Amino acid sequence: MSEPENTLGAQPPETREPPQDGIAGTTAGGLPAIANTVRFALGEAGVVRGARLLAKLNQKDGFDCPGCAWPDPDGPRSLAEFCENGAKAIAEEATDKRIGASFFAAHTVADLAEQSDYWLSQQGRLTEPLVLRPGAAHYRPIGWDEAFALIAGELAALDSPDEAAFYTSGRTSNEAAFLYQLFARQLGTNNLPDCSNMCHESSGTALFETIGIGKGTVTLDDFTKAQVIVVIGQNPGTNHPRMLTSLQAAVRAGAKIVTINPLPEAGLNRFKHPQEIIRLLGPGTALTHHWLRVRINGDVALLQALAKELLEQEEASGGVIDRDFIASRTEGFSAYREGILAQDWAVLEAESGVARAQIREVAELLRAERIIFCWAMGLTQHANGVANIQEIVNLLLLRGAFGKPGAGACPVRGHSNVQGDRTMGIWERPRPEFLDALARVFAFEPPRRHGLDVVGTIRGMRDGQVKVFFGLGGNFLSATPDTEVTAAGLRRCRLTAHVSTKLNRGHLVHGRTALILPCRGRTEVDLQGGAPQFVTVENSMGIVHASRGAVPPASAELRSEVQIVCGLAAASLRGRSNVDWAALARDYDRIRELIAQVVPGFEDFNARVREPGGFYLPNAARDGAFKTPSGKAQFTVHAVPRLSLLPGQLLMMTVRSHDQYNTTLYGLDDRYRGIRGARRVVLLNAADMEEQGIRPGAELDLTSHFRGQTRVARRFLAVPYDIPRRCAATYFPEANVLVPLEHTAQKSNTPASKSVVISLAPSRASEANRTR
C-alpha cells in the first residue's frame, strides 16, 4: 500500500511569543478560581444555559463531570459540587459555537493543520458526520448510514479482524464501553487499546499482583479518618481540584499531609475553598506538613528509604511494624526485609535526592495507625512504574494499612470513567472468566489471544499490520508518545475514524479515508424513541452512578455514543451477531440487563443505579481480604533505579498546565506556576541553566536520547524554576515527540513520559532567523 500524501501537522505549531511575566502561585482556589469558573462556564455557554449546567453538575439527579474521576460525597452535596476545571470542561462542551459543512468547505485539512491545538478546539462543536475521501483536501458531509457502511466495507476487506484496532477514551460511558468491547470481540479481535494503557496501567498491574484487585481500596469518608495522607507523584490542584476539599477536611480533622513531588505545587501548599466566602480573604488552609523534593524517578529509592528507617527502628525497639498483620495476611516479608535492610543509605539519599533527616521525620509520621497513599501519573509513567506502586504497597503492608477505616491505597484516576471502561471489558488482555461470561450470555466464542494495547497499536499501524483505526473519543495522536511515529502509523491506515465532540489534531493526520463522527456530550439530553435515557460511570473509588444530560444537543444530527456503537456493530456484523443492536440503542436499560449477567458486582443493575448516588462495587482488599492465588497480600522486592546521565543531559518529565485537561486546552496560562501565554516552555533549575550558559527566555531545541536514537522538539523557551538539579519539565502534547515509543514501563507497557533523557541546544530555527 502506498503512503498517503498527508505529511503535515503531526505536532502543534511552534509558538514564537515569549511567555508573559507571572508569579508562581502559592495557594489554590480562592477568588481567581471563582472568577475563572464564571468566565468560562457562563461566557462560553451563556448565562442561563451555563448556570443551568453548573446546577446539575455532579448532582445525584444530574450529570457526571466529563473531567476527572474524583468521587462525589455519598451524602448531601453542596449546590456547587464542582471545581474550576470542571466548569472549564462543561464550558468546552456546552459552547454555543458550531462548525459544520461551511467551515470545512472554507478550510482545507492542510490549512487546519497549521493552526494551534487551542485554536482548533475553540472553533466550536461538530454538528454532522464528515468524510475525507482519498486525495481530497476538504472534509465533506456524509450520512450516518453511509458512514457505517463505509466502515463495515473496510472491516470486511481485512484479511483478519486483528488488522483493526478500537481505541477508547475514558469519558466513554459504561453502556457504550460494554457494547464496544462486545462488538470488537464478535468481530473477532481483542485489539482494544484505551487511555488506561497510558496512565494507570502500571497501578492496575502493580495492585492486582500484590493485593488481588487493580483498583484503590479507600472511600471518600476514609480521608476524614486518616492520620497521615501521602500525596506522591500527583498535582491535585490542577488535575483533580475537588480532591483539595477532601485534603482540607482531613487537615481540619487532624491529619498530616506529606507531599512527595519534584515541583512545588500551589494546590498542595495552601487551599482556599471557593465556597467558604468568609475565608476567601484569609491565607487559606495550609495543607502540606512535609514536602519531600524528590528528584524525577527517585521514588523507589525514597520509598525504600522510608521502609528502611521503619525496619531499622523495628530492629532497635520493636512495635513499629504490624507483625500480626504481616504474619497472618501477607507473604514475602522475609525477602523484602532482607533486601531493604541491605540497602546503602548513601545510595538511597543520592538516588532520591532527599536527605536522611527528612526521611526520618516522615518515617516517624508513618508509624501512625491510619495511612493513605495517593498517587497519579508521576509514579506510573516510568520504566519502573509498576515497582513504584508496589513499593507503596510494601509500606502499607508494613503498617497493616488495609481493611481498616482511614487507611489504604488511592490511585487517583484521570478521565471520569476510565476505571469503568476497564470494568466493562475494555482491555486487550481480558481475563478468561470475563470471556467465559460473554460466551455464555451471547452464545459465541470470543477470541482468547491477547490483543494490542496503545503502544502495540502504534507499532502495528507503523508496520502496516493495523489497517483500520477507530477511536471512540479522545485525541489518540496528541495523547500518545513518539508523535511522528504515531502520525506515520495513522497515515498508513486504510481508514481512520474518530467519534468526537470537537475538532482536534487527530482528525488532521489521517488514513487514506477519514471519518469524523460527532457525538452528544455528557451534558446533553439523550432521547431515544421519545424516552429520556441515562448512562452510568464508575469513579476512582468504585462507585457506579447515573449521569443524565440537562440541555438539548448541539445539533439534531448528533448521535449518542451508544447509538454510534450500535450502528457500527449492526452494519459490520450483519448476519454474524445474535444481538438486537437496534433495540439496545432504543433502551439503555436493556444494555444494563446484559451487563448484570456478565460483570460481577452489577447484579440488579437497573434498580441499584437508580438509587441516588448509585452503589459501591465489591472490593475485597478494602475489607482486608486479598484475592491473590495464595489469598495473601504480597511483599515485592525491587532494585533501586540508578540515574545515569552524560554531562549536559537532564531527565525530563511531561506535565499539564492549569488551563489544560489531558489533550484539551482551555487556555494558554498556567496560573499556579506563574506561566502565561505560552506552552512551548521547559522548566529548568537555575543552577543548571547557569552551568550551561542558558539565559531565561532563551530559545532551545530539546533532543531526547534513547538506545542510540534521538528525537528533537524545537523552539522551547527556557524558564528558571524550583526543580531539582539535572531535571526538567515540559508540557504535553508539545513534548510528546520526545518520548520514545519503545521506552515503556516493565509489565504494564505504559509510555515512560516522566523519564526522558534530554539535552539542550540553542534553537536552530532561532539561529536561522537571526541570520536572515
The whole-angstrom separation of Cα 173 and Cα 421 is 7
CA distance between the termini of the chain: 41
- The single residue listed with the C-alpha cell 528507617 is 309
The whole-angstrom separation of Cα 751 and Cα 504 is 22
The whole-angstrom separation of Cα 33 and Cα 35 is 5
Residue 69 has pLDDT above 60, yes or no: yes
Phi first, then psi, for residue 85 (nearest 5°) are -75, -25
Residue 303 Cα distances to 111, 254, 360, angstroms: 50, 24, 12
Range ranked top by mean pLDDT from 89-93, 352-356, 539-543: 352-356
Domains identified in the chain and CATH numbers: 98-199+417-533+556-587 (3.40.50.740), 201-411 (3.40.228.10), 650-771 (2.40.40.20)
Q: What is the mean pLDDT of the chain?
A: 92
DSSP secondary structure code for residue 404 in this structure: S
The grid coordinates listed for 99 are 462548525
Confidence of residue 2 (pLDDT cuts 50, 70, 90): very low
- pLDDT tens profile 276-312: 666 667 778 889 999 999 999 999 999 999 999 999 9
Taking residue 448's Cβ as centre, other Cβ atoms within 10 Å add up to 9
Mean pLDDT over 720-726 rounds to 96
Question: Which pLDDT score, from 0 to 100, does residue 722 have?
Answer: 95
Question: Which pLDDT score, from 0 to 100, does residue 285 have?
Answer: 83
Taking residue 277's Cβ as centre, other Cβ atoms within 10 Å add up to 9
The whole-angstrom separation of Cα 447 and Cα 469 is 19
The grid coordinates listed for 741 are 515509543
Residue 102 Cα distances to 134, 138, 507, 708, angstroms: 20, 11, 17, 48
Please report, rounded to a whole number, the percentage of residues in the chain having pLDDT higher than 70.
93
pTM for this structure? 0.95
Identify any residues that bridge with 633 across adjacent strands, giving them in sequence order: 330
Question: Which pLDDT score, from 0 to 100, does residue 207 have?
Answer: 98
Mean pLDDT over 337-361 rounds to 97
Please, what is the angle between helix 299-317 and helix 385-398, to 10°? 20
Mean pLDDT over 108-135 rounds to 95
Mean pLDDT over 249-268 rounds to 93
Mean pLDDT over 459-481 rounds to 96
- pLDDT tens profile 27-48: 666 656 666 666 666 666 677 7
- pLDDT tens profile 649-708: 999 999 999 888 888 888 888 888 888 888 999 999 999 999 999 999 999 999 999 999
- Written as one letter, the residue type at 260 is I
Which residues does 282 contact at the CB level (< 8 Å), separation at least 6? 272
The whole-angstrom separation of Cα 542 and Cα 536 is 12
Question: Which pLDDT score, from 0 to 100, does residue 764 have?
Answer: 82
The whole-angstrom separation of Cα 387 and Cα 203 is 9
The whole-angstrom separation of Cα 479 and Cα 119 is 17
> Cβ distance 738 to 700 under 8 Å?
no
Q: What is the DSSP string of 89-104?
A: HHHHHH-S-EE-HHHH
Question: Which pLDDT score, from 0 to 100, does residue 3 have?
Answer: 36
> Cβ distance 549 to 591 under 8 Å?
no
Residue 739 has pLDDT above 60, yes or no: yes
Question: Which pLDDT score, from 0 to 100, does residue 43 have?
Answer: 66
- pLDDT tens profile 357-415: 999 999 999 999 999 999 999 999 999 999 999 999 999 999 999 999 999 999 998 77
Residue 208 has pLDDT above 60, yes or no: yes
Cα Dmax for the chain: 77
Please report, rounded to a whole number, the percentage of residues in the chain having pLDDT higher than 90.
78
The whole-angstrom separation of Cα 338 and Cα 28 is 43
The whole-angstrom separation of Cα 612 and Cα 610 is 6
> Cβ distance 516 to 126 under 8 Å?
yes
- Written as one letter, the residue type at 191 is N
The grid coordinates listed for 332 are 514475602
Residue 726 has pLDDT above 80, yes or no: yes
Mean pLDDT over 249-258 rounds to 96
Residue 5 has pLDDT above 80, yes or no: no
